[in-house]
Amino acid sequence: MAKQRDGEQEQGRDGRDKELAQYEKQLGSYLQERIKPGLSPGAIPLLARSIAKEISREEPPEKSAGTDAAEAGGAPAPDFEADMHELQAELGNDWILSFSVHGEDGWLTAEKQDSSQRIEAETAAELLKIYDDAMASE
């Protein structure tokens, strides 16, 4: 019974994946029809708005459950809070770490509790590099 259910779920997933692939193919064809070489720069925003309206009217098929997990190697979605705690631990207990967002921009800020040092970077890797460079020069 469980094998039959697993088989039915797999067939359902395959069907949704095929629907999604078909939708993506149709979308690609539609975009190739609408976007022509030699388009004037002034026409691009108008065309983009028109295409966006047209696409938003047609809902894509839903992805099958587990598609994202398979793409990520079966790993669960990252836990932002845990990642922030881990990064703060790498910096040390005398550092305060925060994440800021303004519009499309996002950045990390690390500041010593006594406000004697402050580091800002767009990614954790950049922040750690700046931190390591600063600690090496001390």
pLDDT digits (tens, 9 = 90+) for 117-126: 899 988 888 8
pLDDT at 112 over 80: yes
pLDDT at 85: 82
pLDDT at 120: 92
Q: How many helices (H) and strands (E) does the chain have?
A: 5, 3
Read off the pLDDT of residues 58-106 as tens digits, 9 standing for 90 and up.
766 665 555 444 444 455 556 777 788 888 888 888 889 898 888 888 8
Read off the pLDDT of residues 28-59 as tens digits, 9 standing for 90 and up.
887 777 777 776 777 777 777 777 777 777 76
Cβ atoms 47, 55 nearer than 8 A? no
Residue 123 CA: distances (Å) to CA of 92, 105, 111, 127: 18, 11, 15, 6
* E strands, the chain, in order: 95-102, 105-112, 118-121
pLDDT at 114: 92
